[in-house]
Amino acid sequence: MTAEAAIEAPKPRRQRDRWRATGWKFAAPGLSMIAIVMGFPLIYALLLSISSFTLLHPRLQPFIGLENFRTVMADEYFWHSVWITIKYSAVTVAGEFLLGLAIALVLNRVVRLKAVYFAILTIPMAMSPVSVGLVWHMLLQPNLGIINRLLDASGIGGIDWMGDPNLAFWTVVFVDVWQQVSFVILILAAGLASLPKEPYEAAEVDGAGEVQQFWYLTLPMLRPVAAIAIVIQLINETRTYDLVYVLTRGGPGIATDLLSYFAYRRAFLGLSISEGASVSFVLLLMVLALTVVFFRLVTRRA
């Protein structure tokens, strides 16, 4: 049947301790690096969020507990940002996953031209978010950009992609999905490529159709990899900042005011690094909660 995950811990205590120690020996180098290089700044950032550190008063003390959080949460625009960020992450991740899965499945079947498709897929991934923003800004420029020019020429008329308050959000979503879907395809394709062949052969023999094979074999076996792809993308999307900065600056109005842009403004425009840090930690808690819940839901043992 399908592969099992962790080895069970042995029962006798000495063996179990040795078993545990092996695990830690494997994990130690990686975890140490993370702890040293990122752990210290993370703790420092946590301290920042409960401190009164501003660019004008660059000292941690006096510590003011949850004061920063209270200040930030009293701002009505903060909650709007939270809502927009949740909406944005949900929509982009869903879009990337659904589109990505569909394409990965199709890609998995072809043999010829696979190299070409792969090569094309890598292009958006090789562009930094700032570049993606600049390039799409050029394409979507309402008066001079090539897309609107073509729309004008064909009689449909140009669209105000980034300036229409009802459309701007979806424009940013579209650009983000355009860039990120390749990565999801890559992970899912790798996952699909690793699936064992026997179950499918057995299913063919049993007369199962393609849809059944997909639903009862592919999806369950792909779950761990799919879960990881979604978690990684969820984390990436909630942090979206560069695209908003280049395309809309959070506008028009507040239509695209994502939380990480909000945090940046608090820190570097409002000069209150401590407030920026507290907004960031709210974001972290949100994402952590979503991630844990989602992961638990999806990776229940079959």
Binding mask 74-103 for another protein (x = CB under 8 A): ---x------------------------xx
- Can you tell me the distance from the alpha carbon of 137 to that of 175, in angstroms, rounded to the nearest whole number? 10
Residue from 196, 214, 216, 220 binding another protein (CB under 8 A): 196
Kindly state whether residue 297 participates in binding another protein, applying the rule CB under 8 A. no
Kindly state whether residue 131 participates in binding another protein, applying the rule CB under 8 A. yes
Instruction: Report in angstroms the alpha-carbon separations of 140 from 151, 161, 174, 175, 198.
Output: 11, 6, 12, 10, 48
Kindly state whether residue 206 participates in binding another protein, applying the rule CB under 8 A. no
Kindly state whether residue 4 participates in binding another protein, applying the rule CB under 8 A. yes
Among residues 216 and 268, whose Cβ is nearest to another protein?
A: 268
CA angle 100, 106, 107 (to 5 degrees): 85
Residue from 221, 230, 237, 243 binding another protein (CB under 8 A): 221
Taking the complex as a whole, the smallest distance from the CB of residue 2 to another protein amounts, in Å, to 8
- Can you tell me the distance from the alpha carbon of 129 to that of 119, in angstroms, rounded to the nearest whole number? 19
Taking the complex as a whole, the smallest distance from the CB of residue 223 to another protein amounts, in Å, to 9
Residue from 170, 284, 294, 298 binding another protein (CB under 8 A): 284
Kindly state whether residue 302 participates in binding another protein, applying the rule CB under 8 A. no
Residue from 195, 203, 208, 298 binding another protein (CB under 8 A): 195
Taking the complex as a whole, the smallest distance from the CB of residue 191 to another protein amounts, in Å, to 8
Q: 225-244: which residues touch another protein (CB under 8 A)?
A: 225, 227-228, 231-232, 235, 238-239, 241-242
In the chain, the amino acid numbered 209 is G
Residue from 11, 74, 153, 211 binding another protein (CB under 8 A): 153
Q: 24-63: which residues touch another protein (CB under 8 A)?
A: 24, 26-27, 29-31, 33-34, 36-38, 40-42, 44-45, 47-49, 55-56, 58, 60-61, 63
List CB contacts of 64: < 8 A, sequence separation 6 or more. 50, 51, 52
Q: Does the N-terminal peptide bond of residue 252 adopt cis geometry, omega within 30 degrees of 0?
A: yes
List CB contacts of 91: < 8 A, sequence separation 6 or more. 173
Kindly state whether residue 270 participates in binding another protein, applying the rule CB under 8 A. yes
The values of phi and psi at residue 4, to 5°, are -95, 165
Which candidate, 169, 156, 125, 162, places its Cα nearest to that of 142? 162
Kindly state whether residue 120 participates in binding another protein, applying the rule CB under 8 A. yes
Max alpha carbon distance in the chain (Å)?
78
Task: For residue 231, give the 3-state DSSP assignment.
Answer: helix
